[in-house]
């Protein structure tokens, strides 16, 4: 079964911006197995495409509510990944938004897109994971996911500055540091904000 041609992006088309709502609770992450066109069979967080004029936070809240019925009470914008998924003809910039305070219990609101939602411990994640989530974990390590969700972004900048062996400045702006990946895959990069 091949990729439906209507879902293939042509070379030269701009990348899509995806928002990943990383819902964390007591050392566990909320994941669902995807159904449908993009990433079918892979495990992913709630999320979707950034709409025209929408803020990152608003998109994360909207997608979380639409897909799980959860209401985010606090958000922390985390790193992003840049993935070229050549076999699918897709190029995604995915921004990860950490949510540790929320209302409700997850339910599968879009059964045509997801088999259901389950909690997984960070040290026992299912496989396969959707490409952006795999890139994030490979480059930052699963042990840092929970820590990132609780950090103040200013504290994160301080940590970047003290780990000079892992950080390469791209400009004089400290927020533009590029974290060097632990294991780099062709076509994928990430950046911590």
For 86-128, the pLDDT digits (tens) are 777 889 999 999 999 999 999 999 999 999 999 999 999 999 9
Alpha carbon distances (Å) from 36 to 59, 73, 88, 112: 21, 29, 13, 7
For 64-88, the pLDDT digits (tens) are 999 999 999 999 999 999 999 877 7
| Segment 145-170 mean pLDDT | 48
Give the chain's largest Cα–Cα span.
49
Please tell me the CATH code under which domain 5-152 is placed. 3.90.79.10
Please tell me the pTM assigned to this model: 0.73
Q: Which pLDDT belongs to residue 14?
A: 86
Average pLDDT, the chain: 80
Q: Where are the beta strands (DSSP E) in 26-162?
A: 28-34, 43-44, 47-49, 71-85, 90-103, 114-121
Give the residue extent of every domain in the chain: 5-152
Q: Which pLDDT belongs to residue 181?
A: 38
Q: Which pLDDT belongs to residue 159?
A: 41
Name beta bridge partners: 82: 93, 189
Q: Which residues contact 53 (CB under 8 A, 6 or more apart)?
A: none
Q: What are phi and psi of 16, to 5 degrees?
A: -90, 150
- Top-confidence residue, 31 or 178: 31
């Amino acid at each position: 079964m091949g990729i439906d041609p209507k879902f293939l992006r042509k070379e030269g088309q701009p990348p899509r911006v995806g928002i990943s709502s990383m819902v964390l609770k007591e050392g566990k992450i909320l994941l669902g197995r995807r159904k449908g066109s993009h990433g079918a069979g892979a495990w992913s967080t709630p999320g979707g495409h950034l709409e025209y004029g929408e803020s990152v936070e608003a998109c994360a809240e909207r997608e979380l509510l639409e897909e799980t019925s959860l209401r985010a009470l606090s958000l922390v914008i985390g790193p992003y990944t840049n993935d070229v998924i050549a076999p699918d003809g897709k190029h995604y910039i995915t921004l990860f938004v950490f949510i540790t305070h929320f209302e409700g219990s997850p339910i599968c609101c879009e059964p045509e897109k997801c088999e259901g939602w389950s909690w997984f411990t960070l040290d026992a994640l299912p496989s396969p994971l959707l490409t952006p989530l795999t890139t994030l974990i490979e480059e930052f390590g699963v042990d840092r996911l929970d820590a990132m969700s609780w950090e103040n972004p200013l504290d994160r900048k301080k940590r970047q500055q003290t780990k000079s062996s892992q950080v390469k400045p791209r400009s004089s702006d400290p927020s533009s540091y590029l974290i060097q990946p632990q294991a780099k895959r062709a076509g994928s990069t990430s950046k911590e904000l």
